[in-house]
Structure 1
Amino acid sequence: MLTVGSADTISVPASERFGYWHDLVARESVPMRIHSAHAANFQARAEVISLGEIVLSSWRYPSLDMQRTSTFIRRSDPEMYEFALPLSGHGGVEQERRTNLFTPGRFAVVDTSRPHQSSHQGRSRHEGLLTTLTILVPHGLVPLHPNKIAQLLATDIPATEGMGALLSNFVHQVLGHPEQYQERDVPLLGIVARDLVSATLAQRLDLTEALPTEVRGHSLRVRVKAFIDEHLGDPDLSPGTVAAAHHVSLRSLHRAFEAEDQTVAEIIRTRRLDRCARDLRDPLHRRWPIHTIAARWGFPSQAHFSRVFTAAFGMSARAFRNSPSAPDRRR
């Protein structure tokens, strides 16, 4: 699985916890001046995953204020953009004379090479530890002009729609389930992170066409796969409807997937079959008729479903459901 660096202030004496956290932030993110009403007994935890030059982190801490001054920047400047996604609490962020709210469901964007400050508070005294997910991306990896990106500093980007939602899903998935990946996946995960960050910024700036062809193509594939997963139950889902939903020609869609192992039609079919197989295995769905499960995942024709399922798994759906030795995956 991916290597996860973790640290918990509970491992050091109470009097040393705030200093330990201060050093941890400087080492795993960037040096900051930190103030907290909980400094006397600072209970916090961090988990960090390195994807090559890009770093994903999950931070849990009590209410605090942070400031990165010119002095800190002169001492250490890794030249990074930071995307911060709070999962709880509320606060604010300020950079380049621009101030914005720091709220759950929205990425805050800052440049570590420029002074900035932020605050993060619980909504009540009883809220407990706050959580923020962050992405650190080197300036040089983002194929957009710095002056354009500067327009987004201390602004927020929705993490629930568009490219921001895909970026949020990626960060949650990797940080929440590192056991699903191997160290050999790090280079690919780093490329995915870079392209999602670049596409998120470009979409916000209306500069998608300015991205390199490689980045645009990868971004399109990621969006298409997410769209397919969201619409598997629609029997009308097809390469044509996918292309229309993403405002590209069918030819362009097929071209984008030329280097993939599967065509768009094959992705739709295999993911539908995987969902059907999962439901057939699920005890909670034991009483569901097979045709109901098939229709749920976009197979309205029982005869067609029976034919493609048998071809994929080597047995009928009924035999698959009743056999303890049925394959978990398609052939």
Structure 2
Amino acid sequence: MLTEAEFRTDALAPSDRFAGWQQCMTDVVAPMEITSPYADDFWADHRLLRIEDTWLWPTRLHASRYRRTPRLIRQSDPGLLHMTLVRPGSGTVLVEHGGPHSAVGPYDLYVLDVSRPCDVGTDDEPIVGVGVDFPRSLLPLPMSTSLDDVLGRRLSGRHGFGALFSQFVTHLVDQSDSYGPADGPRLHRILLDLAAGLLASGLDRDTALSPETRTRNLVLTIRSFIGGNLHDPGLTPAAVAAAHHISTRHLHRLFRQEDTTVAALIRDRRLERARRDLADPALAHTPLHTIAARCGFGAPAHFSRVFRAAHGMSPSDYRHVRLREGAEPAR
């Protein structure tokens, strides 16, 4: 399990809630000026997860604004980069960080350098999001890389590295109890690599990434592409390579370090989706050929043959056993 703590204002007396939240933000990030039209009876629901030297904090809270001023920076400068993924249910977050204001809505992101003045928040709508904080020195980009052109900007969380970063962060905070201490270093590396990829793409400077980080990010991008195209019976290693403008030989070379092949990954992900659908009571009357097609198996006979080879029983028998056991769909 990831290291986790929780802060809830409803555990405090109403008169202490806003001050408690101010102290929480000082402890988690750095001292800042916080204002809210709801300061007299403030609410916030906040979890804090630590992975190595990085903090993730999914939060829901009243409308409020946060300012890092030169005086506060001189008082305390932890050298952090802060990234926020704005989630559904949030109002639009206004961000000012040395340039024009940006309006960042649900599914998008913004990045702050805590060592520089900033002004962030909403005036009348709740904030729902996930903050990610880590020392700037850990980012796998050269320290000489200027982030000026990306700080405070709205970054899309729907496409490219923004989507990969958003999906990974959301998975971590929603499935934190799925991991043990031994998983921390690998999760941390993936998180930092995706953060670097997001920033480099925002700067249009992919060459700033180290060759190792570019390779790992390309593998993550390919895995995400495969997961999103399992329904396509034409999803083959050659098609995956073409979609990423690399040779099939280079694609296979990338996956030598992944303990699998691209063809095996496609097959296993399709079987995983098929198992989930077959065990889902809501799909109990969906024909097997429909499930086969949805999972990218071109013909029902091929689906049955591959499934039986992997699980020792036919798809229909597997469905019968799982539904009889009352098993929940795998997630």
Q: TM-score, normalised by structure 2?
A: 0.92
User: More displaced, 41-50 or 204-213?
Assistant: 204-213
* Residue of structure 1 equivalent to 2:176: 178
The alpha carbon displacement at 1:32 in A equals 0.6
Partner of residue 319, structure 1: 317
**2:139 maps to 1:139:** no
Please say if 1:226 is aligned against 2:228. Answer: no
Question: Aligned letter for 2:138?
Answer: L
Question: CA 1:328–1:270 in structure 2 vs 1: closer, same or farther (change >3 Å)?
Answer: farther
- State the percentage of identical aligned residues: 36
* Unpaired runs of at least 5, structure 2: none
| Structure 1 unaligned blocks of 5 or more | 124-128
Q: Which position in structure 2 is the counterpart of 1:100?
A: 102
Figure out how many residues of one structure are paired with residues of the other and give that number.
324
Q: Displacement, 1:268?
A: 0.3
**Separation of aligned partners in 2, 1:206 and 1:152:** 10
Q: Hey, what does 1:121 align to over in structure 2? A: 123
Using the TM superposition, give the Cα deviation of residue 285 of structure 1 relative to its aligned residue in structure 2, in angstroms.
1.9
- How far residue 137 of structure 1 moved from its aligned partner, in angstroms, is 2.4
1:86 to 2:86 alignment: yes
Moved more, 77-86 or 162-171: 77-86
Deviation at 1:190, TM superposition (A): 0.6
Q: Which amino acid aligns with 1:149?
A: L
Which runs of structure 2 are paired with 1:38-49 in the superposition (5 Å)? 38-49=38-49
Report if aligned partners of 1:235, 1:300 keep a CA contact under 8 Å in 2.
yes
**2: CA distance between counterparts of 1:307 and 1:163?**
37
Change (3 A) 1:259 1:91: closer
**1:210 maps to 2:205:** no
Query: Kindly tell me: are residues 55 and 223 of structure 1, through their superposed partners in 2, closer, same or farther at Cα, counting changes over 3 Å?
Result: same
Measured in 1, the distance between the counterparts of 2:127 and 2:48 equals 16
Distance of aligned partners of 1:293 and 1:103 in 2 relative to their CA distance in 1, 3 Å threshold: closer
Q: Superposed, which structure 2 residues align to 1:6-21 within 5 Å?
A: 6-21=6-21
Contact kept, 8 Å, 1:89 with 1:121, in 2: the verdict is no
Are the counterparts in 1 of residues 93 and 127 from structure 2 also a CA contact under 8 Å? no
Q: Secondary structure at the match of 1:133?
A: strand
RMSD: 2.0
Displacement, 1:17?
Answer: 1.0
Report the Cα offset of residue 328 of structure 1: 10
2:301 is the alignment partner of 1:303: yes
Contact 2:95 2:104 in 1 (8 A): yes
Q: Could you tell me the TM-score, scaled by structure 1's length?
A: 0.92
Matches within 5 A, 1:240-279: 240-279=238-277
In structure 1, the residue corresponding to 2:231 is in which secondary structure? coil
Q: Structure 1 residue runs of 4+, over 3 Å off?
A: 144-147, 324-329
Q: How many Å apart are 1:91 and its aligned residue?
A: 3.5
> CA 1:146 to 1:153, structure 2 compared with 1: closer, same or farther past 3 Å?
farther
Mapped to 2, the partners of 1:60 and 1:248 lie a distance apart of 42
Cα pair 1:273 1:309 within 8 Å, conserved: yes
Counterpart CA distance in 2 for 1:197 and 1:260 is 21
What one-letter code is carried by the residue in structure 1 that aligns with 2:131? T
The equivalent residue for 1:28 is: 28
* Aligned amino acid, residue 41 of structure 1: D
Q: Is the 8 A contact 2:37 2:123 kept in 1?
A: no
Amino acid at match of 1:134: G
Give 3-state SS (helix, strand or coil) of 1:46's partner. strand
Q: Name which of structure 1's ranges 268-277 and 320-329 shifts more when overlaid on structure 2.
A: 320-329
Aligned partner of 1:37 in structure 2 is 37
